[in-house]
Amino acid sequence: MKKFLVLLIPIIMITSCGKQDNPFFGEYDTPFGIPPFEKIKNEHFVPAFEKAMEEHNAEIERIIKNDSAPTFQNTIEAFEYSGGMLTKVSNVFYNYDSSKTDDEIAAIAQEMGPKLSSHYDEILLNEKLFERIKSVYEQMEQINLSSEQKRLLSEMYKRFVRNGALLSEESRTRLKEINQRLSSLTIQFGQNILKDVNSYRLIIENEADLAGLTKAVIDNAAERAANEGNAGKWAFTLHNPSVMPFLHSADNRELRKQMQQAFINRGNNNNDSDNKKIIGEIVNLRLERSKILGYNTFADFVLEDRMAGDVTTVMDFLKQMWTPALAIAKAEAYDLQALIKKEGHDFELAQWDWRYYSEKLRKERYDLDEEEIRQYFELNTVKDGIFMVTNKLWGLKYEERNDLPKYHKDVQVYEVLDADNTHLGILFMDFHPRDSKIGGAWMNSYRKQHVDQNGKFVSPIITVVCNFTPPSGDTPSLLTYDEMTTFFHEFGHALHGLLSDCRYLSLSGTSVPRDFVELPSQVMENWANEPEILKSFALHYQTGEQMPDELIEKIKNAGHFNTGFSNVEFIASAFLDMEYHMISEYFNEAELENVASIINKRTIEKYGLIPEIAFRHGSTHFSHIFAGGYSAGYYSYLWSGLLDADVYEAFREAGNLFDQETAARLRNTILERGGTKDAMEMYIDFRGRKPIVEPLLKQRGLL
Ligand SMILES: [Zn+2]
C-alpha cells in the first residue's frame, strides 16, 4: 500500500493546487468527455494554450532525443499523438471564436493566431524531427504497416516536404521570405477590396430612380443614407445585400450600369487600394515557390495534393461543363434580348441587364412565393425529415439528451446511435443567429473520432451551427428553401464526422482534400431536393398537409432557370483562377501591373466568354484565390458537385433512393474512411470507376 501512496502524492498535489482550476489542465470529468462548458472561462484559454505549446514542444524534444533508431512507433505515432493538449484547447477555443465569441475571445484569437502559426512552422521546419520521419519513410516498404499506417506516414512526410524540408538552407530561407511576403500581400489584397467597398456609395436623390425596388430595399437604403448624414436620400453599397437587389430590380438602366461597373471594378480603381500590382507580385511569387519545390507551375504544386490530381483532369472537367453551359447561356441571352425588344427598347443586352431581365422572366414563368414555401419547412419538421432520411439509409437513431453539458442554452444536444444501438457520437445543433455567433452555417468538432494511444476508441463530438430564421411571436422557425437544403448539407458534414471509423486523428472525419470534403455534404442535398422525399417531410406547420405537387414541380423547374448564366459566370472564374496558376514563365517588372488584364483577356478569348456575362469573381476582387485558400482550387466547388451527383446517381441506378447495399457501401468506402486513403481510390471503391460528368449536367439542367 505504501508503494502506491508515494505515487499518489504528486497526483493529489496537482489536483488540489488545481492550477487555478483550469479545466484544460486535467481530464474532463463529464459524460462522453464533453468539454465541461460551465467551468470553462475566457481567462483559461491563454494559460492553457501556453501550457499546451510547452507540452507539445517537450513531446517533440522527446522524439528527437530518443536514443533508439527511428521507428514507426517512436517517431511517426509519437508525433501523431503529440500536441494532444493543444488540440483539446483549440477544439473548444475555435468553436467559441465562431459561435460563442465576445471581445475577449476575439482579442485572444488575435493574440494566439501568430503564436500558433509560428509554433507549427517551427515544428515543420525542425530538421532533426524531419530526419527521423524521413528515415522511417525510407523503410516504409520493409516494415510491416497497415494501409492506414502507411497513409499516416506518407501524408506526414509529404507535409514536411511540401513545406520545404528537403531543400537546402538557402532555398528554405528564400521560401520563408516568400511565405512572409505572400502572407502580407494576400492580407493587403483583401483589405483593398474592403476599402473600395466601404468607400463606395450610390446616392439617389430622386425618388423616381428607385422604381422597381421593393419597399424593404428602399427603406434600408433610406436608413443608411440618414445614418450617414444624407437624410431624405437613399444610399446603396457594394455589399451583396444592397447591390444584388439593385441589379435584379432597379428599372433605371443607367444606374444599374453604374452599380454593376463599380461592383466588378472593386480593387481596380487606380487608387491606393488598387490590387493590380499585387496580383502580379502574388502570381510571380507563387510560381517561384513552386519552382523551388520542384514543380513547373503553381497549379501543379497545388493539384498534386487534391483528388483531381493534375491540371489536365481539372481543365477537361471544366470544359465538359463549359460547352453546354455556354450554349444554354447564349440561348438565355436570346430570350432576354427578345424580352427587351418586347418592352419596346432597342438596346443590346449588357452585363448590367442580365440579372434585371432574367428576374422579370423568372417571375413571369415561375413566380415562386418564398413565404408560401416556408410554411412547409418548420425547423423541427425538417430536422425530423433529416433524421428519417439518415435512419432509412443507415439505421441511425437520435436521442435528445437534456442532461449533458452544452456551450449555450439554445443548443440542442443529441446522442447519435447506430442501427444496433451502439453509441456513435454526440451531436450539437445550434440553429439561430445571436450576437456571439458569426454568420453562415458550418460543421465543426469538439473532438474528432480516433483511437487513442492506449487503443481506446474515442467517439466524436460534432457541432452543426447555423443562422436560420428564428421563431418570432407565435410563429415557429420557418426555413426558406435555401435554409432547408443548407441544413441537409451541414448534416452531411456532420455524418462525415460522426460515422468516422479511423485510427489516427489527423486522418479521421473531414481530414480530406478540399475538392473531396464537400462530397458528403452535397450528396445529402439530393435527398432534400427529391420530390417524393421532399413530400414526406415538407408538412404545413399549421395544417400538417403535405406540400402540393404543383408547388414541388414549380420549385424543381425554377431551380434550372438561368442555369446557363450561373454556370458560365462560375466556370469562367474557375478558368480565370487556372489561367493565373498554370503559367510557367515569370512576368517581368514592366508587365507586373498588367498581369490582371493579360490574364483576363486571355481567359475571355481562349474560352469564348460572352460580353453579356461578367466573371462571377473578377481578378481584382477574386479573394478566394488572392486572399483565401482557393488558389488553383476554385474548381473544387464544381468538382464536389461532380462527385455528389454521380454518387447519388448510384442510388438511382440501384432503383431505390434508400438502397441498403449502396448506402452501406457509401458508408464503408467514404463516410467512415476520413482521409485514410487517396480520395480518388476511395471514390473508385464506392463507384467502381472515376466520376463522370453526365449526372452533374443533368442535375444542373445542362443536358
Ligand atoms: Zn459544406
Pick the CATH number of 373-542 from 3.60.15.10, 1.20.140.10, 1.10.1370.40, 3.40.50.300: 1.10.1370.40
Provide the H-helix boundaries in 100-168: 103-124, 127-138, 147-162
Q: How far is the CA of 517 from the centre of ligand 1 (A)?
A: 7
Q: How far is the CA of 258 from the centre of ligand 1 (A)?
A: 34
Q: How far is the CA of 308 from the centre of ligand 1 (A)?
A: 18
**Measured at the alpha carbon of residue 527, what is the angle toward residues 624 and 396, in degrees to the nearest 5?**
105
pLDDT at residue 12, rounded to an integer: 37
Percentage of residues of the chain with pLDDT beyond 70: 97
Cβ-based neighbours of 455, under 8 Å, separated by 6 or more: none
**Sequence ranges of the domains in the chain:** 2-166, 167-198+272-299+310-366+561-631, 200-264, 373-542
On whether the CB atoms of residues 121 and 56 are closer than 8 A, the answer is no
pLDDT at residue 472, rounded to an integer: 86
Q: Which of 11-20, 50-59, 146-155, 211-220 has the lowest mean pLDDT?
A: 11-20
Confidence tier at 1 by pLDDT (50, 70, 90):
very low
Question: Strand, helix or coil at 309?
Answer: coil
Q: What is the mean pLDDT of residues 223-251?
A: 94
d(CA 462, CA 521): 14
pLDDT at 55 over 80: yes
For residue 520 the three cell numbers come to 458528403
Minimal CA–CA distance to 194: which of 276, 278, 272, 267?
Answer: 267
Q: How far is the CA of 231 from the centre of ligand 1 (A)?
A: 41
pLDDT at 699 over 50: yes
Instruction: Look up the CATH number of domain 167-198+272-299+310-366+561-631.
Output: 1.10.1370.10
Task: Report the relative pairing of strands 397-400 and 412-417 from DSSP bridges.
Answer: antiparallel
490 is annotated as an active-site residue: yes
Give this prediction's pTM.
0.91
pLDDT at 17 over 50: no
Residue count of the chain, please give it. Answer: 703
DSSP string, 649-692: HHHHHTT-TT-HHHHHHHIIIIITTTTSS-HHHHHHHHHSS---
On whether the CB atoms of residues 317 and 620 are closer than 8 A, the answer is no
Q: How far is the CA of 52 from the centre of ligand 1 (A)?
A: 30
d(CA 308, CA 297): 16
d(CA 467, CA 483): 9
Q: What is the mean pLDDT of residues 122-126?
A: 92
What is 2-166's CATH topology?
Answer: Neurolysin; domain 3 (1.10.1370)
Question: Which residue is listed with cell 489584397?
Answer: 189
d(CA 354, CA 613): 8
Q: How far is the CA of 442 from the centre of ligand 1 (A)?
A: 7
CA-based diameter of the chain, in Å?
100
Same fold, 2-166 and 373-542: yes
Task: Report the relative pairing of strands 461-465 and 423-430 from DSSP bridges.
Answer: parallel
Confidence tier at 646 by pLDDT (50, 70, 90):
very high
Cβ-based neighbours of 62, under 8 Å, separated by 6 or more: 78
Strands (E), 349-436: 397-400, 412-417, 423-430
Provide the H-helix boundaries in 544-629: 549-559, 563-581, 595-607, 623-626
Q: How far is the CA of 321 from the centre of ligand 1 (A)?
A: 21
d(CA 282, CA 298): 11
Residues with Cβ–ion distance below 5 A, ligand 1: 518, 521
Cβ-based neighbours of 582, under 8 Å, separated by 6 or more: 297, 299, 311
Angle, in degrees to the nearest 10, between helices 240-249 and 253-264: 140
168-208 pLDDT per residue, tens: 999 999 998 999 899 889 989 999 998 999 999 999 999 99
Active-site entry in 59, 80, 483, 490 = 490
Confidence tier at 20 by pLDDT (50, 70, 90):
low
